[in-house]
Amino acid sequence: MPILREILGKAMLWAFLACSLTAQNYVVGWGPFGFDTRSASAGFVQVRAHGMVAMQRRNDGAVFVSGGQAEPPPPLPAGITFVDCDVGDNANCYALRSDGQIAQWGKLPPFYSANKIPVPALAPGTTYVQVAASRSDALALRSDGTLVVWGQNSTSYFSPPTPPAGTSFARVAASAALMLALTLDGRVVA
């Protein structure tokens, strides 16, 4: 099973499906669940894939889900768009909304889905700024630089690390069994 999930930020690969964001901002997928978005009206700016599912985000903030157990995203309130997205095992889908909230969805059995556990409530005055999907857990970065983890605890990360003294977290990433955070000063914390 491959563990490389991102190639130069433009292509995603995981198990049954691979997809790539072209220079013209279209998404092309290959494998048993291949697809082609070159007939879409707006360019794509983000692509994520895991298992048999791929998520694509367009420059207008719309998110599309393709592949095996794909389920469309929930409707958004007027004026709200998606600004980041990720997909975990078995179509656990997560998307960061422009209002700093996280939408999650999927049609999975409750024993293997972080989607059955609500996104943790935000501390007053904070928003979510990024989300990453693991096997059956999710990792999010809050605007105050802290990490939040929820799900089935398959990766044993329910006590995420605090950033090293003098810095805060800037980005997060996750794979089937690993969660990482990048600090503002360039250190990676696992």
Domain that holds residue 89: 6-133
Phi, psi of 134 (to 5 degrees): -110, -165
What's the whole-number mean pLDDT along residues 105-117? 60
Is the pTM of the predicted complex or chain greater than 0.85?
no
**Is 70 exceeded by the pLDDT of residue 21?**
no
- The answer to the question of residue 184 being in a domain is no
Strands 93-97 and 82-87: antiparallel
State mean pLDDT over 66-85: 87
Is 97 a domain residue? yes
Q: How far apart are CA 171 and CA 189, in angstroms?
A: 11
| Ramachandran area for residue 36 (φ above 0: left; ψ -120 to 50: alpha; else beta) | beta
Number of domains in the chain: 1
Residue 173 lies in a domain: no
pLDDT in the model for residue 39:
47
Is the residue at 144 inside a domain? no
Q: Is residue 124 part of a domain?
A: yes
In the beta sheet, which residues pair with residue 93?
87, 105
Domain assignment present for 186: no
Q: pLDDT tens digit string along 120-160? A: 999 899 999 999 988 778 889 999 988 888 877 655 556 77
- Is residue 154 assigned to a domain? no
pLDDT of residue 162: 83
* In-domain check, residue 172: no
Buried b or exposed e, range 61-88, using 16+ CB within 10 angstroms: bebbbbbeebeebeebeeeebbbbbbbb
Q: What amino acid occupies position 132?
A: A
